Amino acid sequence: MDYIFCNISWMKYYNGITREDQPRHGGHLIKDPSDVFEKDNFRDFNGNCYGYVRTGGDILLDKHFRSVPQGAKELQGVTVVFTAALNEEESRIVGWYENATVYREMVSLPLYEEDYLYFNFKAKVTDCTLLPEEQRTFSIKRSKSSTPQKGASKSNLWYAKSEYGRTEFIPKVHSFIRDYEGPKVAIAILENLKEALPMEDLSLVSYEDLLKTADDLYEEEHYKEAVLYYQAALLKEATYEAGFGLANAYCQLNAFSETIRIAEDLLKTFGESRELIELLYVASDVILEKDKAPGYFRRLNELEGTPLSDREYYDYLNEVTDLFRSYGQYLR
């Protein structure tokens, strides 16, 4: 089993920077968090987690792993362990990816407008574990050396290749990961939300009240809770309004494939509407569904009264196809 260790900032959820979750280093707030790209390391983005560590250059896979051919661009099946400084002398394991793909060069994945996802690692969200803060008990003493005999390297990326690392430290980490059965932060959207319902007696609540609660939660940007109430409303009445609300909430949670599945079911059942086609276009565009996005883009413009010329359509089709060739592998 190949291991990579990454020193990153300390956060509670690694699901974006919020007022309640600010990145820290050594117990101190980072004054300018604008380039703390590890802030999204445990965000479920359409079934994957994308991990970042500041490397200062390429990850030289062929230098650090014997099985890798010279100049290899990626290595699969790696366990990536994320550590963060609790103070100046001690780090803790905050989480890990198993069965991860490590990329030689950092990937800058374009999302929407000028937003990008920066990452060095990718793993299925079901192979990713983020520990609650109180469960971050695996302590690693911080070394002052970039090539320590014991303890964590001061470098952001390290491999525990010393005699101690290979014979003692990595086996301890392996046992900790293998045997961990404590609580985990719930990061997998579909695994935790699909078919889940609110914790109340739904027989006492009407469809109308469930839908209103769901809509209110959505407007307040409590998308996970909104999903529960939309799903409960759909059990009462399988309406377009509840279905569209559910698809929209999943879209806000970056569950784009699930958004498309629900929205296309609505399209078959209730027929098309501008808002439904727009949602299908947005979701398919983000994940570069080159066989769907161009058609929804064309139809959306027709519904808005501004039909595309053939040139405009093929310009967009070629753009999506080119992006898919460059980035599609990272979204699957």
Which two tokens mark 117? 């996802």
Q: Is the pLDDT of residue 295 over 60?
A: yes
Both 42 and 167 in one domain: the answer is yes
Strands 74-85 and 2-8: parallel
Both 238 and 155 in one domain: the answer is no
Is residue 184 one of the residues assigned to a domain?
Answer: no
* Cα four-point dihedral sign 248, 250, 253, 254: negative
Do 63 and 2 contact (CB within 8 A), yes or no?
A: no
Both 121 and 259 in one domain: the answer is no
Q: Is the pLDDT of residue 261 over 90?
A: yes
Is residue 185 one of the residues assigned to a domain?
Answer: no
Both 38 and 161 in one domain: the answer is yes
Q: What pLDDT does residue 150 have? A: 61
Question: CA-CA-CA-CA torsion for 35, 20, 123, 245, nearest 10 degrees?
Answer: -110
Give the highest mean pLDDT range of 34-38, 68-72, 268-272: 268-272
d(CA 23, CA 285): 31
Both 229 and 284 in one domain: the answer is yes
**Which comes out higher in pLDDT, residue 270 or 70?**
270
Q: What pLDDT does residue 44 have? A: 98
Do 10 and 23 contact (CB within 8 A), yes or no?
A: yes
Q: Which of 81, 120, 74, 83 is nearest to 97 (CA)?
A: 81
Confidence grade of residue 56 (pLDDT, cut at 50, 70, 90): confident
d(CA 138, CA 136): 6
Both 70 and 10 in one domain: the answer is yes
Confidence grade of residue 28 (pLDDT, cut at 50, 70, 90): confident
Q: Write out the H or E segment, with its range, that includes residue 207.
A: helix 207-219
Is residue 83 one of the residues assigned to a domain?
Answer: yes
pLDDT above 70 as % of the chain: 96
Confidence grade of residue 310 (pLDDT, cut at 50, 70, 90): very high
Mean pLDDT score of the chain, rounded to an integer?
94
Q: Is the pLDDT of residue 16 over 70?
A: yes
DSSP string, 205-266: S-HHHHHHHHHHHHHTT-HHHHHHHHHHHHHH---HHHHHHHHHHHHHTT-HHHHHHHHHHH
Is residue 63 one of the residues assigned to a domain?
Answer: yes
Q: Is the pLDDT of residue 269 over 70?
A: yes
Is residue 21 one of the residues assigned to a domain?
Answer: yes
Q: Write out the H or E segment, with its range, that includes residue 3.
A: strand 2-8
Both 156 and 250 in one domain: the answer is no
Amino acid (1-letter code) at residue 27: G
Do 95 and 42 contact (CB within 8 A), yes or no?
A: yes
Do 125 and 49 contact (CB within 8 A), yes or no?
A: yes
Render pLDDT for 113-161 as a digit per residue (tens, 0 to 9). Answer: 778 999 999 999 999 999 999 999 999 987 665 555 565 556 899 999 8
Residue 172 φ/ψ, nearest 5 degrees: -65, -45
Q: Write out the H or E segment, with its range, that includes residue 283.
A: helix 274-286
Q: Is the pLDDT of residue 34 over 90?
A: no
**CATH number for the domain harbouring residue 275:** 1.25.40.10
Which of these three, 127, 144, 179, is where a domain ends? 179
Which of these three, 125, 155, 179, is where a domain ends? 179
Both 167 and 200 in one domain: the answer is no
Both 224 and 151 in one domain: the answer is no
Residue 7 φ/ψ, nearest 5 degrees: -90, 120
d(CA 100, CA 330): 12
Do 51 and 121 contact (CB within 8 A), yes or no?
A: yes
d(CA 39, CA 41): 6
Both 293 and 160 in one domain: the answer is no
Is residue 71 one of the residues assigned to a domain?
Answer: yes
What is the value of pTM for the model shown? 0.93
d(CA 139, CA 176): 11
Both 12 and 153 in one domain: the answer is yes
Both 26 and 50 in one domain: the answer is yes
- Mean pLDDT value of segment 32-60: 94
Count: domains in the chain: 2
- Mean pLDDT value of segment 61-74: 89
Which of these three, 156, 179, 202, is where a domain ends? 179
Domain span at residue 236? 190-331
